[in-house]
Amino acid sequence: MPRHAMPVSVVHGQPIAMRDGTILRGDLYRPDEDARHRTVLMRSPYGERTARMMPIMPLLEAGMAVLFQHCRGRGDSDGTFTPWVDEGDDGVDTVDWITAQPWSNGEVVATGGSYIAGCALQLASRRPPALKAVVASVTPHDFYEGLTYVGGALALGSAHHWSTLQGLLGLLQAAATGDTTAYERLGAQMALLGTPPSEDGPLREDPVAREFPFWTEWVDHPERDAYWEELASSLRHDRIEVPVLHTAGWFDAFLMGTLENHRRLGGPLVIGPWTHLSQDAAAGELTFGTAASAQMAGLEIQQIAHLAGFPAGGAPVRIFVMGANVWRDEQEWPPARAVGVPFYLHPDGLLSPRPPAADAEPTRFPHDPAAPVPTHGGGLLLPDPRNIGPRDQRVNAEHPGIVRFTTPPLEHDMEVTGAVAATLYGTTTAPGADWTVKLVDVWPDGREMNVLDSIRRSSSDDVVHEVDLVATSQVFAAGHRIRVEIAGSNYPRFDLHPSLKEGEQTLFHDAGRPSFITLPVMP
């Protein structure tokens, strides 16, 4: 078919006044013609470089204009960046500005990933009449659970890394506006960017708080209290009415959030074997085949069609089944035909659908805060970008704080697709304890590749510990073994229990207290 040149009009640093007089700026792209266009809005706290990663030209080719706007106090926008607080109002004011322009057809859609997708959902919850659709990728559903805290524990590595990055971006913005002291502080902040959280002293006094004071607020509110409830009021799922397309990754830090957004809002759902920052065919130490990449799966085409208002096609849910390494369409998430099968933890290290003996002895293991179990892979964001996704867990084979429960080699392939959770019965001699659970695929060649992990923080009085491992779609192939690892720490993915006391943890297996993990097995 014939191809034609496409003149494009670009305005760099387009100023837009908010209701309180603050000027936000962004880059505006639109087809250079007299026609009116639907506009794609992206609002980011990550500065100018983020725009280079967005599919600007494909959106223009689809006949839409694009506004990439910097949040308050970021990029070249004025004001002060306060995470999550201003995004709803600022989004509404920006939509009002767009629809008043002569090139606008009065329709706006919003898209993005992570915080940018959160901005889109916060905007949707304000119900501006001009907003027609949202694409929300790898984004939380809540500002406390699944983002800053998981199972009662601080998501230390990810939260610290993001806070350090935001402190750096704040200094860059301050330097650009003439703050000469910002240049002097940039070096110290850059050093923090690749540094794990300090193990010494109170977390609230970590150096990251010097340039990002919200860190202290998060650490000071470990429970879901009025502080978090006020933030939650800025994202009301019950007020979102526009169609939302959700994209998730099996190894994304916010898999829980995307699945919960989908549960509450409906709309198409795509889940690939991806991490938070990559939608390639490889994650961690595994490659899932060429078809696994978002590009080969046609994800961008599907997202642009959703934004452009084209009729939805295909199944409502599309998932990548790891192990089999194939895409599969589903009619709902989680698949209704999956059967939840309890796999019991036996005192001899066996993992089996068969319950242990009624009088089975407990398993005991130590927790030493001075020598926590090191994080090795998983759905997270750490200063080391290699420490994500599936990685060989043999690196922790000699750690005394881990107990393992393993099936015999499987005689047939077993597919686990859906929600995964563990119920542990246990006590501790310390003032409180963390109970971490990791689901592992043990290969015939000896590799031990993590699939899922999570945590539950408990007091010394708690005996039952419910651990939400969220979800997966994983084929454990014939000859492989399924393993569950239990420990009292996973550092720095999660902070150490605040008691910082050594203790012995006891895991029960008897008839009244059978510890188990529930796996959704596909028939």
Residue ranges of the alpha helices (H) in 125-279? 156-176, 180-193, 214-219, 226-232, 255-265
Tens of pLDDT, residues 335-374: 999 999 999 999 999 999 999 999 999 999 999 999 999 9
Tens of pLDDT, residues 240-289: 999 999 999 999 999 999 999 999 999 999 999 999 989 999 999 999 99
What tokens does 307 get?
A: 């934004």
Residue ranges of the alpha helices (H) in 239-285? 255-265
Q: Which is more confident, 486 or 197?
A: 486
User: DSSP assignment, residue 487?
Assistant: E
Query: Pairing between strand 282-283 and 286-287?
Result: antiparallel
Question: Region 78-106: what's the mean pLDDT?
Answer: 96
Q: Where are the beta strands (DSSP E) in 18-73?
A: 23-31, 37-44, 65-70
Binned at pLDDT 50, 70 and 90, residue 80 comes out as very high
Quickly count helices (H) and strands (E) in the chain: 9, 25
Residue ranges of the alpha helices (H) in 289-391? 299-308
What tokens does 256 get?
A: 């829980």
Among left, alpha and beta (phi > 0; psi -120 to 50; other), residue 13 is: left
**Dist. CA 314–CA 70, nearest whole Å:** 35
Binned at pLDDT 50, 70 and 90, residue 51 comes out as low
pLDDT of residue 440: 98
**Dist. CA 506–CA 324, nearest whole Å:** 37
**Dist. CA 520–CA 523, nearest whole Å:** 10
pLDDT above 70: residue 96? yes
Tens of pLDDT, residues 102-118: 999 999 999 999 999 99
**Dist. CA 428–CA 366, nearest whole Å:** 9
pLDDT above 70: residue 483? yes
**Dist. CA 87–CA 93, nearest whole Å:** 10
Map tokens 């059967």 to a residue: 339
Binned at pLDDT 50, 70 and 90, residue 199 comes out as low
pTM here is 0.95
pLDDT of residue 367: 96
pLDDT of residue 50: 65
pLDDT of residue 118: 97
| Percent of the chain residues topping a pLDDT of 70 | 98
Q: Are 363 and 348 in contact (CB under 8 A)?
A: no
pLDDT above 90: residue 196? no
pLDDT above 90: residue 162? yes
Q: Are 437 and 486 in contact (CB under 8 A)?
A: yes
**Dist. CA 22–CA 350, nearest whole Å:** 62
pLDDT of residue 174: 86
Question: Region 397-404: what's the mean pLDDT?
Answer: 97
Burial of 339 (0-12, 13-18, 19+ CB in 10 A): exposed
Tens of pLDDT, residues 32-44: 888 899 999 999 9
pLDDT of residue 4: 76
Neighbours of 458 (CB within 10 A): 23
**Dist. CA 261–CA 32, nearest whole Å:** 36
Tens of pLDDT, residues 4-25: 788 889 999 999 999 999 999 9
Give the 3-state secondary structure of residue 469.
strand
Binned at pLDDT 50, 70 and 90, residue 384 comes out as confident
Q: How far is CA 340 from the centre of its chain?
A: 25
Least confident of 133-147, 205-219, 419-433: 205-219
pLDDT of residue 182: 85
Q: Are 60 and 6 in contact (CB under 8 A)?
A: yes
Q: Are 310 and 462 in contact (CB under 8 A)?
A: no
* Averaged confidence pLDDT in the chain: 93
pLDDT above 70: residue 167? yes
What tokens does 487 get?
A: 């420990």
